[in-house]
Amino acid sequence: MKIAAVQMVSTPDVGRNLAAARRLVEQAAADGAALVALPEYFCLLGHHERDKIALAETPGDGPIQDALSAMAREGGVWLVGGTLPIRIEGVSDRALNACCVYAPDGALAARYDKMHLFSFKTGAEDHDESRVLRAGEKPVAFDAAFAGGAAALRVGLSICYDLRFPELYRALGEPAPCDLLCVPAAFTYPTGEAHWELLLRARAVENQAYVIAAAQGGRHENGRRTWGHSMIVDPWGEVLACLAEGEGVVSAELDPERIAAVRSRLPALAHRRADLAGAPDTAR
């Protein structure tokens, strides 16, 4: 089956971003994609960190969530809806960075709240998501069924900075390994240039799964530059599709037989040692 990653250069204008996302999801669906992924903060890259607090929606209710549901339903696709800010009951100065997934009928199928909050400082950039976000509490994976006799997929969710924490992906593989790992992202240019492809391919290889990474990619109106390079990686670590910069869609075929062949030929998942999950003995 075909899967597609949407790359955007989002702006501080929510309406413009939603219109761009809708157009690109329609393009991917028309090209035959059965699952489409949007990037982190597809709905807003504002001028200030706190802009996302004002935009935060109540779980299950809001124009951004309604738009995502409509995109999935109208395109007849599974839609991994990048991320949007979700309100925390009783908390006014923080939000959750949530990835909402919608089934082809528009129903909410899963929601994952970003567990690892990004912090990075250079001479030109100073990021600390904990100033406006609260970390999520648990990994989330879901099963996606497809029409036409296509095999169902086990899909694991993660967001951007999560990519640096392989233990999250191991947790997503319990009790059964994922077939597809999703990584909506807005990597900074310097961290993306250094580590983005390296980490995506590592996560694919060590979990013997496809990885779909929809990214922000370009110079934004708020002055920020994101790395882009939205890509799809196969279970052997081969990059099947990549868009370096600018708005667009990349797609590739996901073949369940490819997953089975890799896992059969090199049964690393079966060779994992459960007794290594705890703390090591203290050396004497």
d(CA 231, CA 196): 10
d(CA 82, CA 97): 10
Contacts of 21 (CB under 8 A, 6+ apart): 6, 8, 38, 42, 43, 67, 71, 82
Annotated catalytic residue 40: yes
Annotated catalytic residue 197: no
Q: Is the peptide bond before 166 cis (omega within 30 degrees of 0)?
A: no
Annotated catalytic residue 160: yes
d(CA 27, CA 31): 6
Active-site residue among 43, 99, 100, 160? 160
Active-site residue among 114, 129, 178, 245? 114
Render 124-140 in DSSP notation, one character per residue.
S-EEEGGGTB----S--
Active-site residue among 40, 57, 129, 245? 40
Beta bridge partners of 85: 97
Active site amino acids: 40, 114, 160
